[in-house]
Chain A
Amino acid sequence: MRNILLVIQREYLVRVKKKSFLIMTILGPLLFVAFYAAVIWIAVGSVDLKTVQVVDESNLFKNEFKDTESLKFSYLSSPIDSAKRQFEKSGANALVYIPGDVIKQPKNVKIYAAKNVSMELKSGIEDVIEKQIEEIKLSEAGITHKILEDSRVNVKSETISLSEEGEKTSSSGAATVIGGICAFLIYMSVFIYGTQVMRGITEEKTNRIVEVIISSVKPYQLMMGKIIGVALVGLTQFVLWIFLTVSLTSVATTVLSDKMPKSQQAMVDDVEKQMPGGMAKSGMPGGNVQNPVSEVLGAVNSLNIPLILGCFLFYYLGGYLLYSALFGAVGAAVDNDADTQQFMLPITLPIIFSFVFAQFVLRDPDGSLAFWTSIIPFTSPIIMMVRIPFGVPVWELVLSMVLLVLGFMGTIWLAARIYRVGILMYGKKVSYKELAKWIFYK
């Protein structure tokens, strides 16, 4: 027992002290935050003032277009044709033409500009015109402003899996994102840390230290120590990433907030309020989309975060243990890094498949493909994580977990038997038949 702990300690310290570990730990969140900040920055745009001229033949919109920090409206009394001619000289960014019959023909509004008009401007103008026309129509029908105000209700519904179409769509968006991110993270970590285990084992063979170590500890202890040590490295990196990302994101948001126009500021605040710490990394950029963003994050909030986190941890570890044992067996069977290639494909195939299947499962989280792939230990870490945000019956979850535990116990047993023979075997070109024999050596 003491021996395994000693091995774990060495494997852990050796990797954590490496410069590359520190760089990756810092780089990850930095990249993420830079991306986040860049998106916000771009969305905000360089705050140049854009001038917009309005030719309003209907005379309904005088002063309805409100100046903002980035938009300044001016109303022209000239007819549209002369306005168009004067446009270039005027230096304005855009010219809005509202025909007289706009209420009957709302699609005839035109926006002229020297270059393409930004989405922001376009939708901003459309919004104003829509609202105004609505108001006019409503007041023509006899509904006053006050009645309109009173009728506004803030609806917030709880997303239940049995809900109507509308509700399900928005939370499925969040669920999709969360599921996808979890799947991706597990996929990456199995590869990154699994191959670390494999390389470590092959290194010990190549530099021959394995024989000395084996005279002090049992092969099984050395193998497990390595697997667990690398698992801890992965967990450490993961925790550090979350921690750094959250703190850096909040710093970045604060720094950027004074640069943003008020409307967007309000929206970002909204976004922040709805962001629970762990979901910060899901990175909803404060873009042009206003309400949908906070809506999705509201839906995210409604998902069972503790369950998702707990399951993520379980499947992250379980998937890693299952595959790293197999990677370890490969590392022990070959003499150098180059020979590992031939064995990599069969082992990584199930992982790659699960990633591919994940796309289908996202569309049909309760179908039979989803069911089977979330139960089989080789694909379950990724697929089950995809399913969980959508809700999974408890018995299926338990079954999947039990099978995963049996799965990694099985691969560890298998790997240990190959390992103890492989580490002292040099020069043999190993085939599957050979490996099978090793499993049964005394």
Chain B
Amino acid sequence: MSRVAAVAWFSFRELVRSKLLVVWLLAVGLLCGVAYLLAYLSYGEPLRIFMDLGLAGLEAAGLVVLLLELAVTYNTDMEQKAVFLQLTKPLTRGEYLLGRVVGFWMVNCLVLLGMTLFIGGFIAFHHGQYPLFWVAAALVMIQMFLLTTLGLAYQMIATSMVGTVLFTFFTSILGHTMSQIRWALERKPDPILRFLLNGTYYLLPNLEVFNLKDRLYDPTLTTAALPWGDIALYAFGYSFAAFLVGWWALEKREFH
């Protein structure tokens, strides 16, 4: 475990040194600023609208950070072969990959936590009380863990940085369409379309599990009503499967 922690800490420091935290400043300044403007140009409950747009910005910022992490590390690890230095050390490829996952997620959480505290602090300063905001932010962080694991698995399989980034980006988009895909499958489409939809449905993660920001206005939704156990199991199960696939790909990969 200490080897995994060492790789995680190294990954964390490497990404922080690459000035990735500038994204946090941009996210707070740009995304939160735009959310503030739009909320106060609107009518009725501006604080709530600010919270909703802030949560959207939170997810967007997390995705941007992840894509940048994957792009930067692909360039240094795979193309400049810095990964050789890591793999010569006394650690297995599985430990290396797990450490990378944890390190990437730590940086992502740092940015997301910073934004969450900013938005939550702003709401609290204006005497707003939205307890589900913190829950929604926590679910975004869990979602980013799953996407981080998947993104790194793609990185181990992909042969280009662009491929890694694009696969991860489109997975995060398509992951939100699972309910609509299921709706389309219930309507019994053509066999070819059904095959494609089934493939998408079974291969990609259902990110709607973590999407609380689209449900905050549901009057029946409470923290107690959330299926916490199933959400945690889903995140763990899918992440573990993605990690195993990435580990296998890394074991098979030859570095020349």
Whether both chains belong to one complex is answered with no
Binding site for B on A (CB under 8 A): none
